Structure 1
Amino acid sequence: MKGVRSDTQPPSRRGRRRIVAERIRADVDDPSATVIEANRHERLFRAADGETDPSVVKSAHRALRIFEYFAEIERPATMTEIARRLSYPTSSTSALLKSLVELSYLDHDKRTRTYVPTVRIALLGGWLKDQTLPGTTLDAITRELHEATRLTTFVVARNQLYSLYIRVIQGTTPVRYYLEPGARRLLTHSTPGRLFLSLMNDDDARRIVQRINAEETPTSPVKFADIQHALTSIRRQGFAYTRNMGTPGLSTIAMRLTDSDRMPPLVIAVAGPSAIISAEAKAIIGKMRELVERQSPGLLPQIDTDAPPIET
């Protein structure tokens, strides 16, 4: 898409260490790039490897996180890399990988000492594809939007009171924002979350906001009255657009991707430097609408495409 691409090299497929600083120099992707880890705020954000509910079986969580890591890097990985990246004990990681090989969910190359998912993993969710996005795939849509924008591109599902980042392709702009696959952020404090709230009527959205404030005790609680006008704008224009929500310098545009009448709705979003998104907002929104309309005709409201987007 003219005017949206950035002249940067695509990221390498090397493993990514846990980012502990808000801002680092990216020596694994592009030595000239700056990577900023987004959305790290106490009581608003839950890391993919963070504390889980006591009812969650730890081994099941770890196995699924391993497959999410493979989805992020899209290449084989060694046991040492997986254990380091996911902060798992080496002994339990080794035992878990061996079990997954025995069950034919992973292949193990003894020469390179690497593991990679088998086709059995791809087949597990194949039956859901046509129900979720008839005629296409989440991966195809996410990749096409990423190729057009070079921004961090992600698909989000609602997980109770949180937005859950289920598919992420990291940005490749000179300043890029790293978003952790599998992480969650409170609906009231995330751009996709506010879009999810906009799909409800005001009474239901108000109840969800009250639950978040009562059960999750965010450090900066949001009252429904504070976002009611924003939800109305999202419904009218068909997308949420925020800047500096959670991470200074970060802007995000989120748009409904699927029809909630068939199954729980999904949201597609892009995030990146505010300067880039502000300058290219019209082209980015146009591309997002094109992708959504292609697979869900009539899902989005009709708008004046020449009108400037309203921040929400």
Structure 2
Amino acid sequence: MSGRVAGLPEWDRCAVMGVVNVTPDSFSDGGRWFDTSDAIKRGLDLVSGGADLVDVGGESTRPGATRVDEDEELRRVIPVVRSLTSEGVVVSVDTMRASVAEQAIAAGAALVNDVSGGLADPSMVSVVAAVGVPFVVTHWRGFSQDMNSRAVYGDVVAEVLAELRRRMDAVVEGGVAPERIVVDPGLGFAKQADHDLTLLAHLHRLRGLGRPLLVGASRKRFLGRVLAGENGTPPPTRERDAATAAVSAIAAHAGAWAVRVHEVRATADAVRVARAIEDAAAEGEPP
């Protein structure tokens, strides 16, 4: 595992972030956890299955998704955050709105995971800086409605690195302590399948940003493309969990701080195996 995030527990391996989508239109689960009580139960089940922290979001960021209004996002997210944190769960809030982040933190959230890296809401960085919680800076080029049209790169690794570095600098300038920043290459956000695969192949370069790395590959389109049958039809999202666990093992071996997944059991096993192999390799090295 690479790096420690100030304000969060320190795990001895790549951490597993479980996902609770409190939405009716998630690409991955089609609204299975939209009901508040179902979402709370889901979060607790993820922890029982091996999640180290749980990411709660009330707005779908799948390609083409339309935004929900602020009141609705708050209605979806805050009761779930409050209930999970009261049970001792380490909760991350997945939001692009400063107001939602602020209220989620007041309800007990320990981390803000903003897929826009603070670009969607000009107030986000100052809110995060004021409360002093960790912040995920994700590579982002625009909202879901038109992000596919922005998936144009000459050198995807170099461009993502440069754009993330600029965003990190802006977040630090806005008052967020560097030791509280996590970076995320934003797989699937303004990226085609080949871009995602190339970024995964070069995670070591992304670690060169000097901050812990979060990798969110779970069930995404590029996995569907890789797993597609002879007719080119990708498997349903819920049939991509074995492939997700494979990526989790690869990310863990490459030094990722955490992986974000919808089903945690296989990934929890995968990151532990990756750590055991690393330990065995270290023990076998000549003095």
TM-score (norm 2): 0.26
- Structure showing greater Rg: 1
Higher relative contact order (CA 8 A, sep 6+): 2
Q: Counting helix residues as a fraction of each chain, which structure ranks higher?
A: 2
TM-score by length of 1: 0.25
